[in-house]
Amino acid sequence: MNRLITFEGSEGCGKTTQISLLKEKLETRGETVLVTREPGGTPLGEKIRHLLKDAPEGKGMTDATELLLFSASRAELVTKVIAPALKEGAWVLCDRFTDSTFVYQGIARELPIEFISTLNLFATGDLVPGLTLLLEVSPAKAAERMAHRATRDRIEDEEPEFFDIVREGFVTLAESEPDRIKRINADADPGTVAEIIWTHFLHAFPA
Ligand code: T5A
């Protein structure tokens, strides 16, 4: 099984927090860890991230444009960062990956799912994560955690119903791939969530 571990979930579920806790834990065991994110993670990918989230030029982009920009960022990231790191034996912890495209663009934006599956494989050169951790947070907790943010990006500006569909979409996807995608109750405190993640890690990658 490859050492790519992806973190998924709706906004404010705590992915960034848990990635940094898992990184620390792996590094104390002497492991090499690369942390990256989508969209972004390369110089070109970070420009695409800006277009997707905050740039005025990105406002009102078509759903097809959005899908292709996420995929373009991913193709750069996998080829130039993730694949070389995996080849060198590092653990790669990635904040979002192909499952986000499947759920946000496929299920929530209702773009053709079959095409998205094909595009995901094309953009990644058929790379599928060894383990995916789906952090499930309730809408109330997510709102609480995001309340301190001064601004909202283009996607965060969607109606609450959009995020209900996203949350349900992730659950449906996880149920279809239970071996790879582990569902985690992310309403708990960060330490408790980290312990659950560690249990899944040890189960997926026994020493
Ligand atoms: N997208 C992405 C697509 O539509 N298609 C795609 O293919 C891809 C790859 C990315 C956007 O792009 C979309 C999805 C997204 O809308 P982003 O800026 O990367 O945007 O935003 P998110 O991925 O949504 O990440 P966030 O930064 O919003 O949230 P995180 O990383 O999940 O949460 P985190 O760790 O930053 O925590 C948020 C706050 O909560 C606290 C933290 O301290 C922080 O203040 N917190 C907790 N508090 C209490 N208990 C816990 N367990 C906590 N965990 C964290």
DSSP string, 110-138: ---HHHHHHHHHHHHTT---SEEEEEE--
Residue 88: CB partners within 8 Å, gap ≥ 6?
A: 32
Convert the pLDDT of each residue in 97-139 to its tens digit: 999 999 999 999 999 999 999 999 999 999 999 999 999 999 9
Q: Which domains does the chain have, with CATH numbers?
A: 4-204 (3.40.50.300)
149 falls in which pLDDT band (50, 70, 90)?
A: confident
With 90 as the cut, is the pLDDT of residue 36 above it? yes
Residue type, 191: G
- Can you tell me which atom of ligand 1 is nearest the CA of 145? 40
**Phi/psi at 196 (nearest 5 deg)?**
-65, -45
Whose alpha carbon is nearest atom 7 of ligand 1? 101
Centre of ligand 1 from the C-alpha of residue 82, in Å: 20
* Cα separation values, 189 from 60, 93, 99, Å: 37, 21, 25
207 falls in which pLDDT band (50, 70, 90)?
A: confident
Convert the pLDDT of each residue in 41-95 to its tens digit: 999 999 999 999 999 999 999 999 999 999 999 999 999 999 999 999 999 999 9
3-state secondary structure of 7: strand
pLDDT of residue 14: 96
Whose alpha carbon is nearest atom 5 of ligand 1? 101
Distance CA 136, CA 198 (A): 16
Give the chain's mean pLDDT: 97
End-to-end CA distance of the chain: 13
What percentage of the chain has pLDDT greater than the value 90? 94
Centre of ligand 1 from the C-alpha of residue 95, in Å: 8
CB of 23 closer than 8 Å to CB of 148? no
* Cα separation values, 182 from 73, 107, 112, 170, Å: 25, 19, 25, 11
Give me the residue label for tokens 């020493």.
207
Q: Looking at the DSSP assignment, which residues form a beta bridge with residue 7?
A: 95, 133
Centre of ligand 1 from the C-alpha of residue 19, in Å: 11
150 falls in which pLDDT band (50, 70, 90)?
A: confident
With 90 as the cut, is the pLDDT of residue 148 above it? no
pLDDT of residue 192: 98
Residue to mutate, 49, 66, 145, 167, ligand 1, most ligand atoms under 8 Å from C-beta = 145
Query: What is the rounded average pLDDT of the residues 160-183?
Result: 97
Output the ligand 1 site: residues, CB below 6 A.
Answer: 11-17, 38-39, 70, 96, 100-101, 104-105, 145, 155, 186, 189-190, 193
Query: What is the rounded average pLDDT of the residues 148-172?
Result: 94
